[in-house]
Amino acid sequence: MTDAKLADHEWWGWFWTTIEHAAFVALIVALAIEFAALKLAEPHKKAVEDSKDLQIAELNNETARLREQAAPRELTPSQRTEIAKLLSGYAGRDVVVSTHPIDIEAMRLASQIMKALDGAKIAYKDSRGSLAVPAQDMKFGVEVSAPSNEKDREFAQAIANALDVSTRGKLSVRFLPEWHPPYVVIFVGIKPIPETE
């Protein structure tokens, strides 16, 4: 091989070796930059993920709250048993259970109240759907009222207390001392609309 060809091969060998070394150094620098970028980006990504998790938790809580508001009122079997025990001293008494017409949710709750009354051996007249009133007079929650005599008023107050205590105040029960029907009445009205914040 001639000296010129040998010099040419040496030059090309040096050239590609330099390229190889430069590429290796560039690769090392790029990996170092990538590692640094990962470390520097980590707290920012965590802050974004934490924010998203918080938003998801808030939305889940709001969804649960709205589901609870939309869910029908009900008495669990244990609540019905508790009501029956609380009213067992009034066995043999009688009461009227009433609702607005076409309020299926209230009629369902009234049925559950009647089951609790059965457990307490309290007779009832089923008047569900019998009270037709104008829209402006629609009643909300559960109202208990009685004639003006003390014995019936005590009975009505006991019913209101039993419904309120057994449900931990979730039924919106009111005893109406100022209203005096001819008999003790449990009126299951429309489910109250919760206060908005």
Residues 49 and 81 in one domain: no
27: confidence class by pLDDT, cuts 50, 70, 90: confident
Residues 133 and 154 in one domain: yes
Look at residue 57 in the predicted model and tell me its pLDDT.
93
Domain count, the chain: 2
Residues 101 and 150 in one domain: yes
Backbone angles phi, psi at 74, to 5 degrees: -155, 160
The string of pLDDT tens digits covering residues 178-190 is 878 889 999 999 9
The string of pLDDT tens digits covering residues 133-144 is 666 577 889 999
Residue range(s) defining the domain that contains residue 13: 1-71
Look at residue 33 in the predicted model and tell me its pLDDT.
86
Average pLDDT over residues 143-171: 91
Cβ pair 183, 147 in contact under 8 A:
yes
Residues 83 and 121 in one domain: yes
Residues 166 and 81 in one domain: yes
Indicate the residue among 24, 49, 71 that finishes a domain: 71
The string of pLDDT tens digits covering residues 101-127 is 889 999 999 999 999 999 999 999 999
Residues 116 and 184 in one domain: yes
What does the mean pLDDT of the chain come to?
88
In a domain, 195, yes or no: no
Indicate the residue among 71, 105, 130 that finishes a domain: 71
The string of pLDDT tens digits covering residues 55-93 is 999 999 998 888 877 788 999 999 999 999 999 999 999
Cβ pair 86, 162 in contact under 8 A:
yes
Strands 185-188 and 123-127, bridge-based pairing: unpaired
Percent of the chain exceeding pLDDT 90 equals 45
Give me the residues paired with residue 144 across strands: 175, 186
Residues 19 and 54 in one domain: yes
The pTM for the full model equals 0.69
Residues 67 and 82 in one domain: no
Average pLDDT over residues 38-66: 89
Indicate the residue among 71, 96, 122 that finishes a domain: 71
196: confidence class by pLDDT, cuts 50, 70, 90: low
User: How far is Cα of residue 167 from the mean position of the Cα atoms in its chain?
Assistant: 16
